[in-house]
Structure 1
Amino acid sequence: MNRLTTHPPGRAQGWLAAGPRRRVTPAVRLICLPYAGGGSSAYHGWQELLGDDVEVCPVELPGRQSRWREPAYTGVRQLVEALAPALAPELGVPYALFGHSMGALVSFELARELRRRAVPPPRVLFAAGGLAPTLRRTSPNIHDQPDAVVVERLRELGGLDEEILTEPELLDLLLPAIRADFAVCETYEYRPEPPLSCPIVAFAGDRDREVPPDRVAPWREQTSAGSTLHVLPGGHFFPMTARDALLGTVRATLAAGS
């Protein structure tokens, strides 16, 4: 896949959504990875709810929003190998990783890639609605299926408004990145490595048919520093519908580690 040699405006060579840089160093920098097909806007409003001690830094993946002209990555390894060196200069302060669904997988592999590059570990890894890395997916692959199949899958998951799913021009813009993101998840192969040295805080939705709590619980195997599982009300997009409860746990966890 050919990649652009220039970088869009923004922090970390465009990987962090553009925004004003803080004049005061934050107590902790929270790097946030989106779900499949999502962009940095998935974390809109988090900064106000988490307070001044936490700097929320949503990652903008290629192929969407401010980077929609760039080809999206179709494999997690290539993605984190590009993301890790761009983020490294931002990680000289205490930081944490948060990922929802596909973002949980990317956050996990990003933490392992940063470890290979001798970057200090995150204070904590938050994995929300993400299939534990050692488990196999049970749903059929759709990244290479006809548009109608992909759209129906998106409708089942509930991640896009119905008005977008029925608008051909919008779908034409969104589907390449969505297919690429599904490929990231569907082609992933877990490779054993030592457990992470940071705690893992996992979240699951009590009505999530895609990744139910028992498919989230094995995240505990990926850390030597302890893990917790919080089951919140909602389906696969419980980070949106149960946002206050989720962010309350995030805020308390980060404050306890300061």
Structure 2
Amino acid sequence: MTINATMRLFCLPFAGGGASAYRTWTTELAPQIEVCPVQLPGREERFNEPAHTDLRALASMVITQLQAYFDKPYALFGHSMGALLSYEVSRQLEAQGAPMPVRTFLSAYVPPHRPSRWSPIHHLPDDAFLDEIRQLDGTPAAVLQHQELMQFLMPTLRADFEACETYESGQWSPLSCPLTIYGGIDDGEVSEEELAAWQVHTSSDFRLRMYAGNHFYLHTAREALLADIRHTLLG
């Protein structure tokens, strides 16, 4: 952990992604912000652990993993699956009376109270499942074409999609922490109107920012995204 940082930013990955997705953020954001990528089971150095198929249980595990580091002000960032997970983590923290994030950043995911426009895919045969993954345009073509590698990654991808597609928020109250919602203008998976619907999930400040790019705009618009996070957290 960085001693001189005044704030921590815990970053939760997209489906199939690992902590390395945020590796450049650690040096690109700001010295006052300690970027803490969260490694979930089933990927990278935790590849030998089964990925969770229950998002609520996964959120509880994340809280257990992070609670020792709530001694400084902190924020959460999650992209796609990571956004839904960050939301559930925030909900559970609120219910526990734990220290809340100074802000939760949610990227490229439909709010849980809105019905999905898409049919579940986690149960599809391998070829059909991979076709759907390919449409998201977030996995390098070389990886998708590497049959052995994809067979290795498939269980985690399926588990992640199952966790999202079977998640039910049940009764909910607005979070007390502020929300910033991010999205890609050309994202075919989630629209700006759907992202704006997150506003009902906070009783505090709400902001919506859209950037050029598709579902994985956070790669192509990284500098602008990080600039907004930096300004939001540091003023």
**Could you state the TM-score of these two structures normalised by the residue count of structure 1?**
0.89
Residues 1:135 and 2:101 are matched in the alignment: no
Residues 1:210 and 2:189 are matched in the alignment: yes
Residues 1:196 and 2:175 are matched in the alignment: yes
Q: Which amino acid aligns with 2:214?
A: G
In the alignment, the residues of structure 2 paired with residue 38 and residue 240 of structure 1 have an alpha-carbon distance, to the nearest angstrom, of 13
Partner residue of 2:80 out of 101, 112, 119: 101
Structure 1 vs Structure 2 CA RMSD: 1.0
Q: What per-residue deviation string (whole Å, max 9, x for no partner) do you get for residues 111-155 of structure 1?
A: 111122221110000011111121111111111111101110111
Residues 1:110 and 2:89 are matched in the alignment: yes
Partner residue of 1:168 out of 142, 147, 160: 147
In the alignment, the residues of structure 1 paired with residue 24 and residue 51 of structure 2 have an alpha-carbon distance, to the nearest angstrom, of 25
The percent identity for this pair of structures is 42
Pairing of 1:1-258 with structure 2 (within 5 A): 21-24=1-4, 26-256=5-235
> How many Å apart are 1:192 and its aligned residue?
2.4
Runs of 4+ aligned structure 1 residues displaced above 4 Å come to none
> How many Å apart are 1:75 and its aligned residue?
1.3
In the alignment, the residues of structure 1 paired with residue 131 and residue 171 of structure 2 have an alpha-carbon distance, to the nearest angstrom, of 34
In the alignment, the residues of structure 1 paired with residue 93 and residue 65 of structure 2 have an alpha-carbon distance, to the nearest angstrom, of 11
In the alignment, the residues of structure 1 paired with residue 95 and residue 201 of structure 2 have an alpha-carbon distance, to the nearest angstrom, of 16
Structure 1 unaligned regions, length at least 5: 1-20
Deviates more, 1:141-150 or 1:190-199: 190-199
In the alignment, the residues of structure 2 paired with residue 136 and residue 68 of structure 1 have an alpha-carbon distance, to the nearest angstrom, of 32
> How many Å apart are 1:162 and its aligned residue?
1.0
Q: Which amino acid aligns with 1:60?
A: Q
The match for 1:16 is none
Q: What per-residue deviation string (whole Å, max 9, x for no partner) do you get for residues 160-193 of structure 1?
A: 1111111111011100000001001110112222
Structure 2 unaligned regions, length at least 5: none
> How many Å apart are 1:44 and its aligned residue?
1.7
| SS of residue matched to 1:171 | helix
In the alignment, the residues of structure 2 paired with residue 95 and residue 63 of structure 1 have an alpha-carbon distance, to the nearest angstrom, of 25
Q: Which amino acid aligns with 2:7?
A: V
In the alignment, the residues of structure 1 paired with residue 211 and residue 3 of structure 2 have an alpha-carbon distance, to the nearest angstrom, of 35
In the alignment, the residues of structure 1 paired with residue 224 and residue 2 of structure 2 have an alpha-carbon distance, to the nearest angstrom, of 26
> How many Å apart are 1:103 and its aligned residue?
0.4
